[in-house]
Amino acid sequence: MKKLLFAVLAFYAVSGTVFAQTQADRDAAKRDVYVILDVSGSMNTDRKFPNVIDYIEKEVLDGLLKTGDTFTLITFGDTAQERLSRTLSGEDDRSALRGEFRKLEAGENYTDIGTALETLADILERRNVPDVRRVILFITDGKHAPPPSSPYYGKDLSVDERFRSAGEKISRGGWFLYVIGIGGETDVKTIAGAVDGSVYTNTDSDLSGLDVNSYIESVDKKVRDWEDAQGTGEEGGLPAGITGIEALDTFIGGFALRLGLSPLAAAGIALAVLLALLILLFLFLMTFRSSELIISDSRETIKKKISPFGRLTLNSPGAALPAIEQGRAVVRIERSLKSLKVKVLDNDALAPESPLIRAGTVKLDKSITIQLKNKKNIIIKKG
């Protein structure tokens, strides 16, 4: 059992090494960019909304996105909805995105931040695109102010379990938010606090000092750390401050997000795969382990191990018994993957009545007795 456990751990370590992404892989990966944009009426004051549109067009649509990347826009105000999602196959798609952005308006009466985060979490769970570089910009100029129809109406987001659960769903998938607050009275700190590892910043209506590239670099590093933590963790163990249960929950959550399944279904699949691997490993070890032989005559007993496709000759140096004339090769034990066989090499050394003379080769199931002409017997047993 110890050998089996060691083999499982070794397999895990090797597979983690083989399949881990290199930095070159990460740099070449496509980006999945999300913008969650506040379209409440207050965004129209001080030209905030036009400035945001200009900024996203310049820094994200033109500066960040490259061919093959996917851009998704979620707007929120009275409620939250996915307004567009497009994968760039060329400049025509980029131009189309610019056109869609220029049509956006801000004029809704409420600011439902809770529903916005929950909508984002649900979309990320469904989207399930593996091996992408993740970017999320969450932009608002206000505090949480949902309509009476919202499940978050009257709720304090800083302590609301539903809101925290949506944030945890996002963080389990390895996503981090860059929350941008325009003006002094915003809930950006609460939003960022719901998704572990996220960052927030405040800016004025001109969006001065806003550096999305610094955020991208920060997110790339966080994602690398997150991916590494899913493998070997820090120094071959779990990341500091994370218990085994939390690490397992994080792994299952990320696995579920990638497959587009519920955590329970993902856990079932992971368990089934693990059991299958353990069974295959057990069969592998049972097949390729060495067989032990106990060989004896009336005077001496020797123990030998024989590996798959190995051979052992009696008498040979290291496998000699007094009952057999020194240096005389009488029988040979041969190991295949499935069985052991005893093959006669010298019929003249065996007693005339020995069945081995007629058979030539016999399968060794549990034990076999070799009758020698000198009236002595040799017994060969499986250990």
CATH of the domain at 216: 3.40.50.410
Tokens of 251: 């792994």
Q: Which residue has the higher pLDDT, 105 or 213?
A: 105
164-174 average pLDDT score = 91
User: Which of the 8 DSSP states describes residue 111?
Assistant: B
Residue 244 has pLDDT above 60, yes or no: no
Q: Which of 242, 95, 117, 210 is nearest to 169 (CA)?
A: 117
Q: Which residues pair with 368 in a beta bridge?
A: 380
Confidence (pLDDT) at 250: 53
Cβ atoms of residues 288 and 156 within 8 Å: no
Q: How far is 323 from 377, CA to CA, in rounded Å? A: 8
Q: How far is 228 from 16, CA to CA, in rounded Å? A: 9
Q: Kindly state whether residue 6 falls inside one of the protein's structural domains.
A: no
Q: How far is 360 from 347, CA to CA, in rounded Å? A: 9
Q: What's the distance, Cα to Cα, between the start and end of the chain in Å? A: 18
Residues 6+ apart with CB under 8 A from 232: 13, 16
Domain boundary among 210, 230, 250: 230
> Which band of pLDDT confidence, cut at 50, 70 and 90, is reported for residue 242?
very low
For residues 38 and 161, membership in a common domain is answered with yes
106-111 average pLDDT score = 96
CB atoms within 10 A of CB 26: 15
215-237 average pLDDT score = 63
> What pTM does this model have?
0.56
Q: Kindly state whether residue 158 falls inside one of the protein's structural domains.
A: yes
Tokens of 279: 């069974």
Confidence (pLDDT) at 36: 97
For residues 59 and 181, membership in a common domain is answered with yes
Q: Kindly state whether residue 245 falls inside one of the protein's structural domains.
A: no
Q: How far is 123 from 85, CA to CA, in rounded Å? A: 11
> Which band of pLDDT confidence, cut at 50, 70 and 90, is reported for residue 20?
very low
Confidence (pLDDT) at 17: 36
Confidence (pLDDT) at 182: 95
Q: Kindly state whether residue 239 falls inside one of the protein's structural domains.
A: no
For residues 223 and 343, membership in a common domain is answered with no
For residues 225 and 295, membership in a common domain is answered with no
Instruction: Tell me which of 46-50, 164-168, 212-216, 347-351 is least confident.
Output: 212-216
For residues 101 and 174, membership in a common domain is answered with yes
Q: Kindly state whether residue 157 falls inside one of the protein's structural domains.
A: yes
CB atoms within 10 A of CB 336: 10
Tell me how far the alpha carbon of residue 276 is from its chain's centroid: 17
For residues 298 and 216, membership in a common domain is answered with no
Confidence (pLDDT) at 338: 76
Q: How far is 28 from 33, CA to CA, in rounded Å? A: 15
Q: Which residue range is the domain that position 203 belongs to? A: 21-230
Q: Which residue has the higher pLDDT, 7 or 226?
A: 226
Confidence (pLDDT) at 248: 57
Residue 59 has pLDDT above 60, yes or no: yes
Domain boundary among 180, 214, 230: 230
340-348 average pLDDT score = 89
Q: Kindly state whether residue 156 falls inside one of the protein's structural domains.
A: yes
Tokens of 158: 């800083």
Q: Which residue has the higher pLDDT, 26 or 123?
A: 123
> Which band of pLDDT confidence, cut at 50, 70 and 90, is reported for residue 270?
confident
CB atoms within 10 A of CB 111: 26
Confidence (pLDDT) at 309: 83
Residue 101 has pLDDT above 70, yes or no: yes
Domain boundary among 230, 247, 279: 230
